[in-house]
Amino acid sequence: MQQKNSKNASQKIVVSIDIGTSKISGLAGFKDEYGMVKILAESSVNSNGVLRGIISNTDKVSRAIKEVVKNLEVRIGQTVESVYVGISNHHIKNVIKRGILTRDDLDIEVSKEDIDKLIADMHKIVLKPGSKILDVIPQEFIIDSEQGIIDPIGMAGRRIDANFNIITTKVTAMHSIERCIEKSGLEMKDMRLNAMASADAVLSEDEKEAGVALVDMGGANTDITIYKDGILRYAATISLGGNVITDDIKSGCSVMPDSAEKLKIKYGSSMPSMVESNTVITIPGIKGRDAKEISQITLSRIIQARVEEIFDFVMMKIQDSGYERQLIAGIVLTGGSSVLTGIKKTIELCTGLSTRIGHPIDKLASGYKENLYHPAYATVIGLLINGIEMEEQNNFQEEIIVEEEIEVQTGDSQEEEILEKIEEIAETSEENDNWFKRNILKPAIDFFEEKSDVEF
């Protein structure tokens, strides 16, 4: 980013963009001196051109991104040149592969470069046509038959075996996002799975260690990620979200889409037992027509049926992962549809797992706007957190390279100084030697030779 003023000039400001089906959101922020994320600006616009998480019209999406970025630039007083973005669609797949690295020297400890080499090898595997690798997640390592190693760096061994969870998606979906960012005149620094970004925002390290399923319930998709021992073990996406609940209300109550969405947000509940049976909601008629009356308990039953269906699919994915019985921390629900009244209780009854609603504020510095407490901002906040961490890592690597160059230059300059000193000493010694011969030794020789001649 180019600085327009000196405000926050000492901080590296990062921008994240969440391209959702319902809205496109952007955040600008940095990490303060206490390690918390300071939000400087937020902007959201209605999303057009996105269908079930996949971009269908790049021109419409790029215009929306430009509008979001322009709003951020006005508020932070800087030109935005690069962004971090997320991706979510029902083409997300998990591919489990094993990598092997044989090292020549047993005495040299396993280094980060060895792990990076194994990960690079995973990017060379052959995938199904039309698929592309989104991320490579190390699962566990085996050092010379020693199994169950999570962090092998610093260990000694000749052979390294590693299991990897390779997350793939449709190449056209990734290309569409890249194209939108390019059309917006921006550089895409990184693309991350939305559910992983949401996990960074709402999950604690204890939950990831114990075993937890994060369910990010958005407008078109419901993303699922499972963590165990602090590692991402499984990722999946279901093509059902809050929009299908709205569609059911529209059909079941014979109302317009806008009215259905308002009914869901203001009066909706997934627990009919929590609703009074005699409560009636009145909706104004269209163009002077008579008002429409809807029973709140009927509305609740429509919502309950769809929520239970969605979480039947969620449980199928959790069972497919093989971690169904290892989720000590249960389920953490986030996303725009997670604020539906009674949904926490409905999920617990459907899945038998303890559930909490994940609000993405744990890593935010004080002073953030109240609307960022809403779970709908989990993804864009997580993308911002991840972007800040990547910038720090890149800066750290650059500092190491600079230090190594300085050491080399310092070593070269020290060698030059030593050589110059030796030459100076040699020259001085030669001058002193010549002076001694010329002023002391030669007159003495001449004196004794003259005296000897006289005596003869």
DSSP string, 316-376: HHHHHHT-GGG-TT-EEEESGGGGSBTHHHHHHHHH-S-EEE--TTTTBPTT--GGGGSGG
Question: Within the chain, what is the greatest distance between any pair of CA atoms?
Answer: 153
DSSP letter at 256? -
Query: Which regions of the chain are under pLDDT 70?
Result: 1-10, 397-415, 418, 421-422, 425-456
Residue 456 confidence (pLDDT): 36
Among 83, 91, 71, residue whose Cα is nearest residue 183:
83
H or E element that contains 78: strand 78-79
Residue 429 confidence (pLDDT): 62
| DSSP-derived 3-state class of residue 301 | helix
**In 147-284, which ranges are continuous DSSP H helix?**
171-183, 194-202, 205-210, 242-253, 257-267
Residue 455 confidence (pLDDT): 45
Residue 10 confidence (pLDDT): 46
Residue 60 confidence (pLDDT): 93
pLDDT tens, 101-143?
Answer: 998 877 788 888 999 999 999 999 999 899 999 999 999 999 9
Instruction: Work out the percent of the chain whose per-residue pLDDT is above 70.
Output: 85
pTM: 0.83
Residue 4 confidence (pLDDT): 42
Please, what is the angle between helix 242-253 and helix 257-267, to 10°?
Answer: 110
Among 55, 75, 52, residue whose Cα is nearest residue 65:
55
Residue 242 confidence (pLDDT): 92
CA gap 227, 216 in Å, rounded: 14
Residue 70 confidence (pLDDT): 96
Domains within the chain, CATH numbers bracketed: 93-169 (3.30.1490.110), 205-361 (3.30.420.40)
